């Protein structure tokens, strides 16, 4: 058994992924978190990783060789204070990963405000189908793999490259640690209002990321994104391929089945024939095809592999249907993601009614930083239900321009009852939140079934 690592904040997706990777690499791994609960707790315990509930200072008795600190941990955390008092060795998750797993590998890092999880899953899937057996750490659950993180002997490693800060003692964005050889810049908007003052502050972090990419690497950037163009104009020492523009990687308009043509510098390379919808999905595919090509996979092979791509859990995931009403779950919480998700569903269902159910749960949305963009982002929905518990801005006034098709409710049961009362056969209910939303999907399906039986 290798060195012993004890991970603080182990039940988060990122640190839980590091735990799984460290275990596979031969380390002894234990960990703790404030809330040790499924599904991450089940996944970790199945790997033989012992978990402790809470951050009690008594865990010092474990005497690990190294403490790994998740960014959920702050000063005042009793275990962290004890670690500091003892002068014990500690390191952030991203730094440990960079030094012990990513070093010497071809890292494909996917950055952007939206689509990181999906593009990372696409790239990992394309490389897997090409027999390259990549390692990966993805911030969601890819439906084509049984895990969201794995360690392999491959030279290739795909990572979701987050701009959120690293740890309480390292305020750089996580992605500057990864030493990417293939850097994907998917898009860039203001988000994370709890740690960034404005868009310029995030652009600065993205430029720090670009500075770490070697001249022998490749930057793959959304050519239609003005913020990313500003980042690259600030200085780039690496070749750049752009997608979403005529001079680079481009997607043709979809046919009735959602299939679309892929071209590189005006030359058609093939058609992606798949089940996904929406212009954002097509841009994600272009980024993945370009990244896979840089890792040695022929674009025609990547295009064929995307035809068998299942997607990511909580990305337009059908949770069930009752009496002709379909209920979808989606992670969208930023106004742009809300708009593109709705447009993608509209592309799929045509004239069918869409009932949008939204929980503004992120720190940025709770603060109302982007609330003015919400009415426009919800325009494609026929009915809108906004869950207002926990927000401190005037939602009814904000949504007043949408008229009677928008409702604001602060009680979850009342929200479920209102949606169920409105829904009729053929309707598409799209639930959007970056949290569990109180199990609303199951409650809504149960309510619909009960009313159908009655």
Residue 196: its pLDDT value, please?
65
306 and 288 Cβ atoms separated by less than 8 Å: yes
CATH number of 104-306: 3.40.1190.10
pLDDT at 361: 74
Report the pLDDT value the prediction gives residue 22, as an integer from 0 to 100: 96
- Are 338 and 375 a contacting pair, CB within 8 Å? no
Instruction: Evaluate whether 130 touches 210 at the Cβ level (below 8 Å).
Output: no
List the domain boundaries for the chain. Answer: 4-93, 104-306, 317-453
Per the CB < 8 A criterion, the answer to whether 12 and 36 are in contact is no
Instruction: Find the distance separating the first CA and the last CA of the chain, reported in whole Å.
Output: 59
Using a 10 angstrom Cβ sphere, with 0-12 exposed, 13-18 middle and 19 or more buried, the burial of residue 273 is middle
Question: Cα 403 to the chain's mean position, in Å?
Answer: 32
What pLDDT is stored for residue 366 in this prediction?
67
Per-residue model confidence (pLDDT) at position 160: 95
CB atoms within 10 A of CB 408: 18
CB 429 within 8 A of CB 355: yes
CATH code: domain 4-93 is 3.40.50.720
> What is the pLDDT at residue 369?
67
* The two structure tokens encoding residue 44: 């970790």
pTM of the model: 0.80
Beta-carbon contacts of 260 under 8 Å, excluding residues fewer than 6 positions away, are 251, 252, 253, 254, 271, 272, 282
In this predicted structure, what is the pLDDT of residue 240? 98
| Residue 108: φ, ψ to 5° | -105, 110
pLDDT in tens, the chain (454 residues): 689 999 999 998 899 999 999 999 999 999 999 987 777 788 888 899 999 999 999 999 999 999 999 999 999 999 999 999 999 999 999 999 999 999 999 999 999 988 889 999 999 999 999 999 999 999 877 888 888 899 998 999 999 998 888 999 999 989 999 999 999 999 887 666 566 677 888 899 999 999 999 999 999 999 999 999 999 999 999 999 999 998 999 999 998 888 999 999 999 999 999 878 788 889 999 999 999 999 999 999 999 999 998 877 777 788 888 888 999 898 777 787 888 888 878 877 888 899 999 888 776 676 766 778 788 888 889 999 989 887 888 888 888 888 888 888 888 998 988 898 888 898 999 998 877 788 888 888 888 888 777 7
Q: CATH 3.40.50.300: does it fit domain 317-453?
A: no
**What integer pLDDT is reported at residue 448 of this predicted model?**
85
Distance CA 184, CA 241 (A): 10
pLDDT at 272: 95
Question: Cis omega (within 30 of 0) on the bond before 39?
Answer: yes
In contact, 433 and 361? CB cutoff 8 Å = yes
Tokens for 349, please give them. Answer: 């269902």
């Amino acid at each position: 058994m290798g060195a012993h690592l004890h991970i603080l904040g182990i039940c988060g997706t990122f640190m839980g992924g590091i735990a799984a990777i460290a275990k596979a690499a031969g380390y002894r791994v234990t960990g703790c978190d404030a809330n040790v609960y499924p599904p991450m707790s089940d996944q970790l315990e199945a790997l033989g990783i012992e978990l402790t509930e809470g951050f009690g200072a008594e865990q010092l008795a474990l005497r690990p060789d190294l403490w790994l600190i998740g960014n959920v941990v702050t000063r005042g955390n009793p275990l962290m204070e004890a670690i500091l008092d003892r002068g014990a060795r500690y390191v952030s998750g991203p730094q440990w990963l960079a030094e012990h797993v990513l070093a010497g590998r071809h890292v494909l890092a996917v950055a952007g405000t939206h689509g990181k999880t999906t593009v990372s899953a696409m790239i990992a899937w394309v490389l897997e189908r090409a027999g390259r057996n990549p390692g990966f750490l993805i911030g969601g659950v890819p439906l084509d793999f049984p895990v969201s993180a794995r360690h392999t002997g491959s030279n290739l490693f795909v990572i979701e490259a987050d701009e959120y800060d690293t740890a309480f003692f390292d305020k750089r964005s996580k992605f500057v640690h990864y030493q990417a050889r293939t850097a994907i810049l998917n898009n860039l908007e203001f988000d994370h209002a709890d740690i960034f003052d404005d868009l310029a502050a995030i652009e600065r972090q993205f430029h720090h990321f670009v500075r770490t990419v070697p001249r022998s690497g490749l930057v793959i950037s959304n050519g239609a994104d003005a913020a990313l163009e500003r980042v690259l104009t600030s200085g780039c020492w690496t070749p750049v391929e752009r997608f979403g523009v005529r001079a680079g990687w481009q997607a043709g308009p979809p046919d009735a089945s959602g299939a679309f043509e892929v071209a590189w510098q005006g030359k058609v390379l093939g058609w992606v024939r798949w089940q996904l919808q929406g212009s954002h999905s097509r841009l994600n595919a272009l980024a993945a095809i370009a990244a896979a090509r840089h890792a040695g996979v022929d674009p025609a092979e990547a295009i064929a592999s995307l035809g068998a791509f299942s997607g990511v859990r909580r990305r337009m995931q059908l949770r069930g249907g009752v009496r002709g009403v379909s209920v979808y779950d989606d992670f969208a919480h930023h106004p742009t993601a809300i708009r593109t998700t709705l447009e993608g569903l509209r592309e799929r269902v045509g004239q069918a009614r869409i009932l949008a159910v939204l929980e503004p749960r992120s720190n940025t949305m709770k603060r109302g930083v982007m609330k003015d963009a919400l009415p426009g982002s919800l325009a494609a929905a026929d009915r809108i239900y906004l869950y207002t518990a926990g927000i401190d801005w005037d939602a009814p006034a904000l949504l007043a321009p949408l008229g009677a098709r928008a409702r604001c409710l602060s009680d979850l049961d009342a929200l479920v009852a209102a949606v169920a009362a409105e829904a009729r056969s053929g309707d598409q209910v799209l639930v959007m939140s970056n949290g569990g939303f109180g199990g609303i999907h199951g409650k809504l399906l149960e309510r619909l079934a009960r009313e159908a039986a009655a």
